[in-house]
Structure 1
């Protein structure tokens, strides 16, 4: 009986088909919906999931009240499955094409997306005019989840620590405090963090990288942050500062022209370090194609001044 069981186990081979079925079930949370999506019968889908669960001695989905709930083992498998299937698809596309066709899905936070990404893409297109590039601009928390679900090949955003992502710093950056040149604090020397706490602060929304850094630095000093204006639009915050509605906290890259032209003045804060670094992130299981490596090299070579 032991020998028979062993033959059954070794007869099973995990295939791309199994992984695609698993992904479809995971995303739809339904064997029937996955079967319809894949043009299969529902018993065939159920059998494929059962084969994986039996072979690896795990439960991938809990079946409760006719609903499917992903288990921890299922979540781990999903992370591998989406990367393996995408890599397999890329291999097939590469082998079918007579000329290498560069495809990239790139994420960028608002700083990189507004001030830096265009020069990187322009240079990449000069080297590969037939390249297909998709760009997604959002805050770091959203981009991080897109990397995990393999919707992005890489993302350019503020440096942070994520155990499942690899990173490579490519640019120095800093957060600046800006106000109308006629603002009373513009003539004060020195300016301290305590001075800011008493002013009308124009801030990005919670979760944005610039806001997280500012809140963290203020909290470290022992000061709380109560924004007068809070929003997702950098342009709105800049205009509010220019119209003397308060003091804006923004990435230098996004207000450098306003500072250079004299429309805004940077307020140097004596007791607060708001420097940061921008980094390239990709999933630790990501296979770095030549296109990805070349884009990373361009980011390093053409990083903007801070």
Structure 2
């Protein structure tokens, strides 16, 4: 097996077609086919299955793809550094909406104080997408909510956070002495889309109480949900960091719900096979210190 084999394999995986992979690599289709056959013969495995004129990776193919992307990225980094092309520290960081809106700028500013010529690319998205990007080695690390049941990703908790339920201060539930989850389940719930960490946590807590939620609004935009709550459309479930100023200005009020703990932790997450450069390790230290 050579680096060339891995690069061809990755391209076939991405293109799901050997001819398309050959065109992308500017080599012949038989050369691509031969490289895949050599990999399969070396390890005595099947890496792809053909369905409807497309190639789909087998379970072993998926496993090889995770290793291959990390190996190629490591080799590219090594060659750049040895040729002194990467004197600048480069980081590719993912952040969920809470970190991306409130925290990430502080970490970048501190890091750039250590490395003035550093280049940091930030992708802000929901955690489910960022985790897939980590698996494909498209990110060095991601700052997202704490995970469960992930054997291929490593997490390092760095921040205590919590979710709040908010509405306009005149909402009728504020008249109740005690508000329970049963009181809010049939209200107009304003929620983030499925796959967002705040939505997943809220759904999980409600499910533990035997309650099924039916959102009145779903949105990828926190701003849209805040505006809807302020305009008396319903109850929003959002990270405290993103509504703190609205609560302080009395345009929103937190609704305390009995026996519902919506605290969570934020974590620095990276792939278990990721080589942690000095720059990555220093960025992790910055996150812990601030």
Same fold (TM over 0.5): yes
RMSD: 1.6
CA deviation profile, 1:53-96 (whole Å, cap 9, x unmatched): 11111122234675433222211111100000001001111111
Partner of residue 148, structure 1:
135
CA deviation profile, 1:217-274 (whole Å, cap 9, x unmatched): 1121122212222211111111111111211111101001111122111111121111
- 1:52-71 equivalent positions in 2, closer than 5 A: 52-63=39-50, 67-71=54-58
How many Å apart are 1:100 and its aligned residue? 3.0
Partner of residue 266, structure 1:
254
Check whether the contact 1:94–1:101 (CA below 8 A) recurs between aligned residues: no
Partner of residue 94, structure 1:
81
How many Å apart are 1:49 and its aligned residue? 1.7
Matched, 1:286 2:274: yes
How many Å apart are 1:173 and its aligned residue? 0.6
Partner of residue 69, structure 2:
82
Q: For the residues of structure 1 that align with 2:58 and 2:27, how far apart are their CA atoms? A: 24
How many Å apart are 1:99 and its aligned residue? 7.0
Matched, 1:136 2:123: yes
How many Å apart are 1:35 and its aligned residue? 2.2
Q: Which is higher, the Rg of structure 1 or of structure 2?
A: 1
Check whether the contact 1:170–1:279 (CA below 8 A) recurs between aligned residues: yes
What is the total number of aligned residue pairs between the two structures?
289
Check whether the contact 2:198–2:238 (CA below 8 A) recurs between aligned residues: yes
**Among 185, 190, 201, the residue aligned to 2:178:** 190
Q: For the residues of structure 1 that align with 2:53 and 2:185, how far apart are their CA atoms? A: 54
Question: What TM-score do the two structures reach when normalised by structure 1?
Answer: 0.89
How many Å apart are 1:188 and its aligned residue? 2.9
Secondary structure of residue in 1 paired with 2:163: strand
Check whether the contact 1:186–1:265 (CA below 8 A) recurs between aligned residues: no
